[in-house]
Amino acid sequence: MSDNRIYLQQPFNIQPGKSQANIKSGLPAAGTKSSETFQNVLQQELGVKFSQHALQRLQSRDIKMGPAEITKLNTAVEKAAQKGARESLILMNDLALVVSVKNKTVITAMDGTSMKDNVFTNIDSAVIV
């Protein structure tokens, strides 16, 4: 069975199909739609979305992102947007993320070991955090 959760350093468990209120309190939220998607909850919580491909890469490469990294990522995406970037490579410590700036969506992620000897294509900018 596949586990589609993102593991952050701080306890933070997002499960597909649960609304944001359910995640925070564990109780059903009044007036929430049960059709709220995992991506919507993730974007509300983190500011950026992660594509299914990026989620798989984070999980398979055992990449963990804490609140500080998420904040840095959001700041980097905002900086790239201010400069008119469309597709950006964001380098944070030992992590590389390719992000669709317009959609605020992480397309793929890799750690330092995985990014060695790779060529990043279809990007128009890079942000080093």
Residue 27 has pLDDT above 50, yes or no: no
- Residue 85's pLDDT is 97
Are 87 and 118 in contact by the 8 Å Cβ rule? The answer is no
**pTM tops 0.85, yes or no:** no
> Which regions of the chain does DSSP assign to beta strands (E)?
49-50, 87-92, 95-100, 105-111, 125-128
- Residue 102's pLDDT is 94
120 contacts: CB under 8 Å, gap ≥ 6: 89, 96, 98
- Residue 47's pLDDT is 83
CATH number for domain 47-128, candidates 3.10.50, 3.30.40, 3.40.50, 3.30.2310: 3.30.2310
Instruction: Show the tokens assigned to 8.
Output: 């952050």
Longest Cα–Cα distance in the chain: 51
